[in-house]
Each structure stands twice: as C-alpha cells, then as structure tokens.
Amino acid sequence: MESSTVSSSFTLNLIEGARQAGHDTDTLLLNSNISPALLQQPGSRVTYLQQSKLSLALMELMQDEMMGLLDRPIKPHTFKMLAYGAINAKTVGDAIKIWEQATKVLDIGLQMSVQYDEQQAYCTVRQEYPGQMKNAYAVEHCLFTYHRMLCWLADQMIPIAAVELEYSKPDYAEEYRRLFINAPIRYDCERSKIVFSRRVLAVKNIRDFTQLKEFLRQMPLNMFSTHYDALHFSAKIRQWLERCLIKNNQLPDIIQTAEHFQSQPQTLRRTLAKEGITFKEIKSATQRDFAIDLINNEQKSVEAMAFELGFSERAAFIRAFKRWTGLTPLAYRKLSQASAENN
C-alpha cells in the first residue's frame, strides 16, 4: 500500500546529492509533504508515496536519474532506454545480458556485469569512473531497481539468493528485509551485487511494449509498492492483517491468524522464522504504518486512532508509537504538519 513506510534514513541519503550541490532541500521536502524537522528524528518514517514524489522532484531538478549521488550524472530517460532494450528479451537471463551490453554502450557511469558459476548468477553494479558515491543509497537504489524490473518482466517473484554490499552494515539494515525480500545480506564485500540461482535465468519475459509504457508511467511508486513479495508467507499475513484492521479495527492474534491460514501457531512461527521475521514484528509494523498514515492524513484524536488501530486503551497506543518512532503521536503530528503549513 502507498502508506507503507521506510526509514527516514533512506530519505536523508536520497537528498544528500542535492544538499551538497547547494539546492534548497527543505523546500524539496516540503513540496513532497515531508517535514524537514520530522526527518531529523531518528525513528521517523516516510511513506512510499512521499519517497516516490521526492525522487521524481530530485531527478527533475538535477536532470540526473541518480539524483546527484554519483560523481557524474545519469541523463534523464536512461532507465527508459534500458527498459526498452529489456522488453525484447525472451527470458530474464536475456534481459540481464542486454543491460550488461547497454551500460557499456551508453556510458552512464555505472557498469552492470554478470558472472556465472555452476549454480548461481552474480549480477554486479559498480561505478565506472573514479570518485566517491555520496552514500549507500546509490547502490541500494540500483540493486533494488534491477531486481524489481526483472520481477516485472516475469510477472512473478524472482528469488534472491543473496545480496553482497561493499559497505558496512548500516543502522537501518532492518529495512533491507523488505527491500530485498528477506534475502541474506553480506557486508564489506569487494563489490556490490545481487545473486540469483541460474534456474531463474530461464524464466520467460511475458511483457509487451504497451505494458511497459504503463509501467514507466507509474515509476517509481510501483517499484516500492510491488506485489511480488506477496508470495512470501510473511507478506500474505501482512496483507490479511491490513484487511482485518480496515474492516474490524482489530488485529487478530496468532491463534486466529493460524486458523485463517489453516495452520497451527507453532507451524506458523516456524514458517515465519525461516523468513527471518516474527508474527509480533509483522503485527507491529502494520499498526505503525497505519498509525503514521492516520497522523499524516487525518485530524483524529489519539483516542480515536487508538481504537482504529486495535489498541485497548489510549496509553497503550502512545507507548507503542513512542517505541516505533521515539515520539508521542501528538509530537509526531506537530512536526509532520510543518510540511502542510508550508504548502
């Protein structure tokens, strides 16, 4: 859903190129309905819709599809050209080869390459010219987009065997669970790469040019809110909890959830453990994102929000929200509303 959220650390990294270039990043944030003051709070979060709007504004302002995060810009419509090339691929593996060749010809400053062993394909993204990336967002953005585009071509989840990153584990590493669909992450590697089983290279591309035009029109929000992670059991539970919360203002417990999925609580716990998550974490993230959406878009009392989110009392909601964000709901709303007051 568009109101799902990401850590504000991603947003701070996203605007770093513009900030270093001397642009007024506060105005950019406000125009994307993001409060600069709220962004400085360690536990604050930004919705997919806000992050997408900001990304588009940065690309337009800087005429750079990497938003100033590399030592040289990537010209507008570069991704479109790569997508136009990939739409003619017969398989996922063919699309990867097309991108590898295209990045050499287009001279975009990022080189995509692929190496193989008997079982896996290693898709590497590296900076082609000397210079420093502003921060890890450039790598995260490339690998994330690379994977989501392959999923879209196949119209199915392309499982990630592993992700290797050339930097140390960041303090927001928990966010990678959803970004890379529960894939194992290795840090401080020589190169940044995404690893697939060689079996996925034979998966067919079922898309056509008409579908591609619609896909590009919805960028980049469709990348964030992709449905492909719904093949994971944790995502199915999250979607069901969202529906229950909207319909009943209540979240089912693990026993009710197990019954719905025709399982047993212990079996459900074991299945989620294999995906690196617990039922409690899914439930908490669902309430957190709904709470932030209510604060951003409604003027309801704390008591009303607590009821809608399935809390038995006001105090319990306040404690939970402060645990999620470091702020009380009213303090979060006060900082959040700074963006609305300036627009």
At 256, which CATH number? 1.10.10.60
Phi-psi region of 109 (alpha: psi -120 to 50; beta: other; left: phi over 0): left
283 found inside a domain? yes
Task: Report the alpha-carbon distance of residue 319 to residue 327 in Å, rounded.
Answer: 9
Q: Are residues 87 and 182 in the same domain?
A: yes
Q: Are residues 258 and 177 in the same domain?
A: no
Q: How confident is the model at residue 343 (pLDDT cuts 50, 70, 90)?
A: low
318 found inside a domain? yes
Strand partners, 120: 197
Number of domains making up the chain: 3
175 found inside a domain? yes
Residue 283 has pLDDT above 60, yes or no: yes
Measured between alpha carbons, how far apart are the two ends of the chain, in Å? Answer: 24
Tokens of 158: 């392309």
Tokens of 52: 């997408």
Tokens of 68: 């100033």
Residue where one domain finishes, among candidates 210, 237, 257: 210
Most distant pair of Cα atoms in the chain: their distance: 61
Phi-psi region of 310 (alpha: psi -120 to 50; beta: other; left: phi over 0): left
Task: Report the alpha-carbon distance of residue 331 to residue 337 in Å, rounded.
Answer: 10
Residue of 288, 68, 271 lying closest to 175 (CA atoms)? 288
Residue 74 has pLDDT above 80, yes or no: yes
Q: Are residues 162 and 254 in the same domain?
A: no
**Which range marks the domain in which residue 17 is found?**
5-69
Summarised one tens digit per residue, pLDDT across range 15-35 is 999 999 999 999 999 999 999
Residue of 177, 160, 144 lying closest to 277 (CA atoms)? 177
Q: Are residues 64 and 82 in the same domain?
A: no
Q: Are residues 206 and 304 in the same domain?
A: no
Q: Are residues 63 and 112 in the same domain?
A: no
Residue 116 has pLDDT above 80, yes or no: yes
Q: What is the pLDDT of residue 336?
A: 86
Summarised one tens digit per residue, pLDDT across range 174-198 is 899 888 988 999 999 999 999 999 9
Q: Which residue has the tokens 């928990």?
A: 174
Q: How far is CA 114 from CA 96, 126, 167, 204, 267, in A?
A: 8, 11, 20, 19, 38
**Phi and psi of 325, rounded to 5°?**
-120, -10
Task: Report the alpha-carbon distance of residue 284 to residue 115 in Å, rounded.
Answer: 40
Residue where one domain finishes, among candidates 17, 46, 69: 69
122 found inside a domain? yes
Average pLDDT over residues 193-219: 95
Q: What is the pLDDT of residue 182?
A: 83
Average pLDDT over residues 91-116: 88
